[in-house]
Amino acid sequence: MSTEPVKAPAPESAKRGERTALTGKVTSAKMEKTIVVEVQRLVQHPKYRRVVRISKKFYAHDEERKAKQGDTVRIVSSRPLSRLKRWRLAEVLTRNASAE
């Protein structure tokens, strides 16, 4: 009989959670393994109740340099990779036709 303890499966709360995913357009792919993705969202103005388009830029890590300027991509959150990069490229959704 072995005296090694049997490991029980991890409870549901200990499993890794879902990563935050955003979809946006690549505005710059000139850096080494880094892209700049602009994500737009619609927000209602608190006073005037008009829907306003808000955009924000995120720096994302692109290991294989797959994304080009103008592509629509999905990025997911990750651990801090540098001073500005906290996102990774998950996939390229659509290619920019003029970039090829």
Kindly report the length of the chain.
100
User: What pTM, to 2 d.p., does this model score?
Assistant: 0.79
Give strand pairing partners of 66. none
Per-residue pLDDT of the chain (100 residues; tens, 9 = 90+): 556 666 656 565 566 789 999 999 999 999 999 999 999 999 999 999 999 999 999 999 999 999 999 999 999 999 999 999 999 999 999 998 875 5
What CATH superfamily classification does 19-99 receive?
Nucleic acid-binding proteins (2.40.50.140)
Domains in the chain: boundaries = 19-99
